[in-house]
Structure 1
Amino acid sequence: MGKLTLVLSLFMSIVLTAQQYEDVPYLQDYAVKFELQESVKGVHLKQVRSDRNLAIKMLSADGLLNAFENELSLDLQYRPLTDMKIVAIDNYQNQFVYLTDTSVLSNAWGGTFEVEHGLQQPTHFVMGSEFTALVSSANTLKLINKEGKILWETNQNGLDLISLKYDNRKNRFLLLGSNAIYGVALAKPELKKLYSGSNLTAMAVYKDDIVVGTNNGIITLTGTALKESEVNQKLPWTEITAIKNINNDLWLGSTKGAFKLREDGKYDYYASKRWLVDDEVIDIAKGPDNSVLIATKTGLSQINFVSMTLAEKAAYFQKIQRLRHIRYGFTANLELKTPGDLTTGYYHDTDNDGLWTSMYLAGELYRYAVTKDEDAKQNAYEAFEAMERLTALPPMDGFPARSFERDGYEMGLHANGFSEEWYKKHVAENGRIWRLTDDGKWRWKSTTSSDETCGHFYVHALFAELAPDQEWRDRAIHQLKIQMDHIMDNNWYLVDWNGKPTAWGKWNPKYVNSFPINVGDRRLNSTLILSFLQTTYHFTKDEKYKKAALKLIKKYGYDENANRPATTIGFVEGQDLSDRWNHSDDEMYFLTIPGFVNYSFTEEQRAKHFETVKSHWEVERSEKNPLWNYLFALTGSTTIDSEESAWNLREFPMDLIDWKIDNSHRKDLIMIEPNFRSQTYSEVLPGDERVLHKHNGAYRNNGGNAKQEYAPYIYLLPYWAGRYAEAISAPKQ
């Protein structure tokens, strides 16, 4: 560990104690989905229930279905049930109870509970106390006791019955019709209208109230007389189809997903194939082991809640990273030939293999520094070798390729935004992006940009600090030197195989200072090149890098450019300079700030650099990005958003498929005016309710196509950076 890093680590272990997040277990949610087996595809689904034996059953128009190993198939377990016409299913004392065309019965309690109801074409039933059952048909209600005696019977024509509930608080049955709610007291049965409304769809007893769903929101009814106390349309969606009180949590289903009321009055939203087989909810029920069952039009989803620490979540993602996301030592997304189907996954190159790999490699270096786990070291060394080869394959000294692949298997078509048509015309014929190695076996990808270079300098410096073996540290320092020399020897450009600068690898003063002072490129590129020079000088102690940096500062104003506050970006005389803030530039900036601040030439310079970084961090705070917070902490900050960062890590989804997500219909979110930062809502959405991204799209709420699984380094890097910065404690049980 370098002297400066050691000092910072000791300093932060003192100042961050008050802000350290204590990694105690929390409830992590994830979905298990059950799709209809081919033999029952298209069947009409009605209800879902589970019992104390952890069994999950769905009722369909074709009979009972069993949920097992991600499929719904015909339930053949109880042969007598297969010959019965089951109308409805319920759960009583955590056991299955069935309404058939002749009886109410159960296979629990030794099969002793079975009463005949005598109704023609029964439609609904519900169990009350002491095995009483309220059963309905289109025109009759019957209350039957355990012995089969009819306790009460009445005509129910005109009720347009939707559902029956038992209210154990008041020992009464509640009947929901499309335009009214009725009550029947068990002690003295009598049908009484309790509330009149319209377009009613669902109902649940919640706390001391009754919550009623409608086609346009929910109504809360309170008191004995059921007076309206609240009408709520600020929901993820207002066309309500189901409401359930599960363990004192209020769950609501709609035609566009399910949602759970939180203590703060907002909702956790479960929609899209990340969570549900489809979004049209038909029923919600308590599931096994603290789970919630959400039946939809074409299948079943089980939302599980398990006790987990952030460390355990990281361990889970580490397994996924190694199992499905390593290509030649690079970190790689898994492309899916069939959308959503991991069994069809394959690898291919991207424009930014070096950058993404640097971020995984950095996470493993932080993990090794914290745990001294040999597995972390091996993973880091393997990734480093892949990155090392990026500069070994091109014939230009110190030029890092974007990627490499065996000849004939290269696939990336989108370098610098080029279209497939452009690629076929210019690249496939002339090889302008993909270059063949001398042995004719490999292709390396040219056109490397500044974001790739940021990744290299960030992680090679970190490698030189944290790798335990001197030989390997020296190899990382060599990478810093040859890449810095390439840029300096080529007049502050990345110069490609054709002798021309790449589109974005430009740090030359003529280029940098051509931008107005309010344009982000001027500030960012000045910051990058100063950080690269400081970093290389720090590890080599070669004065030429320091002299070059001081020349850029004194003659061309690079320190002034770099130290300009982030709040000046994007506006000249009140006018936007571009239509949006570039969040990929934020990614480059924050990966660069450890070198920019920590390797400053003087304490005075360091203080100025730190204040500038702080101004950028202040702008980015609303994103609640843990990586930005923890990298800021690693520059010596005594103030970071610890809880916001931990919230982001807790809300990070366990399912990393790029599912199609749509939040555009939500009525529970506060939209703000179109703005330079492309922020849509007043606050950033939880990670499991929006599109996945690589730290450069916090406000990207809609999109996705299920054609890839993201590599888990996007969680692993911020988690281990937080552990290294001592902003996250070791796991505690």
Structure 2
Amino acid sequence: MGFSQKTYSDKAFKQDQATKFQKTTDAALRNLAIDRNGVVQVLSSQGVLHPWEKELKPQLQYRPISDQKVLDMVAYQGQFVYLTDTAILSNAWAGKLYWEHGLENPTQLALGADFTMLVANKENLRLAKNGKVLTDIVLNAPVEKMVYDAKGARFVIATAFGVYTLGETETTLTKIYAGEGITSLAVSDKEVLVGTQSGYLTLNLDGKEASPLQAKLPWPEITSVQFIDGEKWLGSTKGAFKLRSDGKFDYYASKRWLTDDKVVAIEAGPEGSVLVLTETGLSQIDFTPMTLHDKAMHFQKVQRQRHIRYGFSSATRLQTPGDLSSAILWDTDNDGLWTSMYLAGELFRYAATKSEDAKLNAYEAFEAMERLTKISKIDGFPARTYEIDTYQSSDREPDKPEHEKIWRLTDDKRWRWKSTTSSDESCGHFFVYALFAELAPDKSWRDRAIHQLKIEMDHLIENDWYLVTWNGKPTQWGRWNPDYVNQFPINVGDRRLNSTLILSFLQTTYHFTKDKKYLKHYKKLANKFGYEENANRPASVIGFVEGQYLSSAWNHSDDEMYFLTIPGYVNYAFDEESKAKHFEAAKSHWEIERNEKNPLWNFLYAMIGGTDYDLDESIWWLKEFPMDLIDWKVENAHRKDLDKVAKNFRKQEYSEVLPRDERPMHLHNNAYRNNGGSDGQWEHPAYIYLLPYWAGRYVGAISAPEE
């Protein structure tokens, strides 16, 4: 360890995560409130509800409101107060609060000092105190929202066309703002926040100054506004968002955060949380103090409890979207690659902490990968994955005769292995077997990893630089032969990438075996066939080539392969001159990728000696990574607050990469995936977070957790 020049002190930060409560009837949800005991109630068209075990259930405790038509509900002095069609009442204050308001079809209630009450219906306001009506006022439009301004000792009322004030002893309204499409209102001790159908604005308390309408928002159709702990929260028809101190927004949308995106109301919740009521339910967004290490330990449990299949890091398919109890472990084409990344994380964890658990997990994953070459019975040829001969494998090719299936049946007729292995898999294998040979504590296990390097390298040498499968033919993507690699123009990424990969594989195998045949083959590819020149070209040469295969756009899966390869390519270089050239080539790739703020790329760059590895951006990524790994459908294309860039080769949409918790869940090879998702049909494995976190610990970029 000790690679890094600077270290993040791992102190607790506020991690946001959501708990969702779904409504179970067709009731329209209207409002919510919380009392001083932390009890949350939701007003619906079918009565008062409360959150319980991820559902909104009927509130039965306070019987007097169960048989009454409750039309509004507020929290006053930390107690619930209800507006019914006939009266205002409460379960608090010994039950003494009860006033028959006398208004037909009331809609809203607000309370001021000393139980001053303001009640509205579609046409009138009624101000009362101590059971006596102080004034009645005829309105020109229905009330959208009314709140009490304690500092000004007055009520603030919004209609669709204006904002008014009414003092507790006044008999007429004072108009402080005229506008259109007003939907919502909130008051702090400094300003009035007004939501409209096309953005929001602020007024000073006397209404003499108004800010310009703010429309550069995640979505401008505002339905609710609120001040919570001095911060502005806004709800819209496409999610909720909080204004940050830098003028940008934290955006809470999609089922990762909300039951749906049509926000009805926002309120401060229990223990520093925020409550967001939408059309179909209630979401409680908690802000829990935790360190990056705490977060890693959470994901460690997720990985172990739901994502281990035969030792592989496995995908998890949810039979019922979003329901983790319906999870089924599922094989993928890249089980070897994903498992190599999970295994690398456990090796880094062992190196940083000497955890026995990390060692056992690493050995388990290694055995799963080791079997990939054994089950194929082709010398040094790794299967993509394997599975018992069940519906999960053989029945995916029901129309093919047995001799044509890519899922090959083992001699004992019990297992099938997938035979179309690609360069992605080989890249992961050489990356992690080298780490294993360096970091595993037991020599016998390290020797097994070195054996895997040797047999997989020998397979490529003996098969003219191809991965050759059961039928004697190269796989589609397992190709490092010069005829294949050098057919591409220098601008096509595969020429540079595949040259780098195979040279790194040879360096790595030589480093651990000291067998000079690997050095010989390296020199032949490097010098005679130009692989050294290919590999050491700066990444900036990669670009679009008209009509050329594999050059229509930047391939971010290639980035993943490249960064997993650079430790072997740089650190195992045969001499210092080569090492310096290899480092500069790798740095050129990192420079292009650094705007993704990916800590895995940054910490792998640190492993090869990079010192300017964007630590702050890496920590930002780790903090913004969501606690929810479900592949919810997420959309950002509608957002008005993002600065879009012109269509480009890298498939970058916005001037800055979005936080991970505002994008669909994805692996490290999908940097600019801003829209999409399976709507809750999968849970991604937790190594996506674990690998970069433990890589950061390994290189010394992240400290152990601090109290």
State whether TM-score is above 0.5.
Answer: yes
1:594 to 2:581 alignment = no
Aligned to 1:718: 692
TM-score of the pair, normalised by structure 2: 0.97
Structure 1, residues 258-301: CA drift from partner, whole Å, max 9, x if none?
11111111111111111111111111111111111111111111
1:74 to 2:43 alignment = no
1:92 to 2:66 alignment = no
Equivalent residues in 2 for 1:494-513 (5 A)? 494-513=467-486
Structure 1, residues 616-659: CA drift from partner, whole Å, max 9, x if none?
00000111111000100011111111011111111111111110
Aligned to 1:129: 113
Q: Which ranges in structure 1 are unaligned for 5 or more consecutive residues?
A: 1-8, 414-419
Structure 1 stretch 46-55 or stretch 115-124: which is displaced more?
Answer: 115-124
Find the aligned partners of 2:52 and 2:82 in 1 and give their Cα distance.
20
Equivalent residues in 2 for 1:313-392 (5 A)? 313-392=295-374
How many angstroms does 1:32 deviate by?
0.7
Find the aligned partners of 1:217 and 1:166 in 2 and give their Cα distance.
23
Equivalent residues in 2 for 1:408-557 (5 A)? 408-411=390-393, 423-426=397-400, 429-557=402-530
Find the aligned partners of 1:579 and 1:571 in 2 and give their Cα distance.
6
Structure 1, residues 334-377: CA drift from partner, whole Å, max 9, x if none?
11122222222112211000000010000000001111111111
Equivalent residues in 2 for 1:288-327 (5 A)? 288-327=270-309
Aligned to 1:417: none
How many angstroms does 1:690 deviate by?
0.7
1:32 to 2:19 alignment = yes
Question: Measured at CA, do residues 389 and 333 of structure 1 come closer, stay the same or move farther in structure 2, by a change above 3 Å?
Answer: same
1:728 to 2:693 alignment = no
How many angstroms does 1:249 deviate by?
1.4
SS of aligned partner of 1:230: coil
Structure 1 stretch 273-282 or stretch 211-220: which is displaced more?
Answer: 211-220
Aligned to 2:166: 184
SS of aligned partner of 1:628: helix
Contact 2:664 2:674 in 1 (8 A): yes
Contact 1:140 1:153 in 2 (8 A): no
1:644 to 2:628 alignment = no
Find the aligned partners of 2:39 and 2:437 in 1 and give their Cα distance.
54
Equivalent residues in 2 for 1:610-649 (5 A)? 610-649=583-622
Aligned to 2:634: 661
Contact 1:138 1:156 in 2 (8 A): no
How many angstroms does 1:53 deviate by?
1.6
Aligned to 1:416: none
Find the aligned partners of 2:362 and 2:664 in 1 and give their Cα distance.
28
SS of aligned partner of 1:730: strand
SS of aligned partner of 1:701: coil
TM-score of the pair, normalised by structure 1: 0.94
How many angstroms does 1:220 deviate by?
2.3
Structure 1 stretch 102-111 or stretch 318-327: which is displaced more?
Answer: 102-111
Find the aligned partners of 1:488 and 1:206 in 2 and give their Cα distance.
72
Contact 2:336 2:385 in 1 (8 A): yes
One-letter identity of the residue aligned with 1:91: A
Find the aligned partners of 1:291 and 1:467 in 2 and give their Cα distance.
43
One-letter identity of the residue aligned with 1:533: L
Aligned to 1:83: 67
Contact 2:491 2:544 in 1 (8 A): yes
SS of aligned partner of 2:703: coil
Q: Which ranges in structure 2 are unaligned for 5 or more consecutive residues?
A: none
How many angstroms does 1:576 deviate by?
11
Contact 1:570 1:576 in 2 (8 A): no
Structure 1, residues 499-558: CA drift from partner, whole Å, max 9, x if none?
111111111112111111111111100100111011111111111111111111121111
How many angstroms does 1:573 deviate by?
9.8
Find the aligned partners of 2:341 and 2:270 in 1 and give their Cα distance.
38
1:197 to 2:170 alignment = no
Find the aligned partners of 1:530 and 1:552 in 2 and give their Cα distance.
8
SS of aligned partner of 1:462: helix
- Count of aligned pairs: 706
Find the aligned partners of 2:46 and 2:478 in 1 and give their Cα distance.
64
Contact 2:256 2:628 in 1 (8 A): yes
Find the aligned partners of 1:33 and 1:430 in 2 and give their Cα distance.
50
Find the aligned partners of 1:64 and 1:264 in 2 and give their Cα distance.
39
How many angstroms does 1:571 deviate by?
4.6
Structure 1, residues 103-155: CA drift from partner, whole Å, max 9, x if none?
3222223333333323232211112122222122334322233x3233x2122
Aligned to 1:158: 140
Equivalent residues in 2 for 1:210-225 (5 A)? 210-222=192-204, 224-225=206-207
One-letter identity of the residue aligned with 1:475: R
Give the % identical residues.
59
Contact 1:528 1:589 in 2 (8 A): yes
Structure 1 stretch 340-349 or stretch 177-186: which is displaced more?
Answer: 340-349
1:268 to 2:250 alignment = yes
How many angstroms does 1:83 deviate by?
2.2
